[in-house]
Amino acid sequence: MALFDDEPLKKPKAHEIGQDLSLLSVDELGERIALLRAEIERLEGELRAKGTTKTAAEALFRRS
C-alpha cells in the first residue's frame, strides 16, 4: 500500500533482465519465455517498420 493515498502504486515488472530465476516454477519460466518471445516479435515488427520508412526516405532524397 502506498504511504499516502495520492501516491501511485508501483506495478511489479513482469520480467527484469538479469533477475534471479531460481525461485520461479517451471510454469512461471514458461510464461516468462512466452512473454519475452512476444516482446521480441513486437520489437522486430517495429524494426521492420522503421527500416521500411528509412528506405522510403532514402529513395525520396537520393540524388541521381
* pLDDT for 56: 81
C-alpha cell recorded at residue 56: 522510403
* pLDDT for 1: 53
The per-residue pLDDT for range 5-51, each reduced to its tens digit, is 777 777 767 788 899 999 999 999 999 999 999 999 999 999 999 98
Comparison of pLDDT for 47 and 61, the residue scoring more: 47
> Residue type for 18, please?
G
Torsion sign across C-alpha atoms 17, 18, 21, 23: negative
Whole-model pTM above 0.75?
no
The answer to whether residues 9 and 2 touch, using CB atoms and an 8 Å cutoff, is yes
* pLDDT for 12: 67
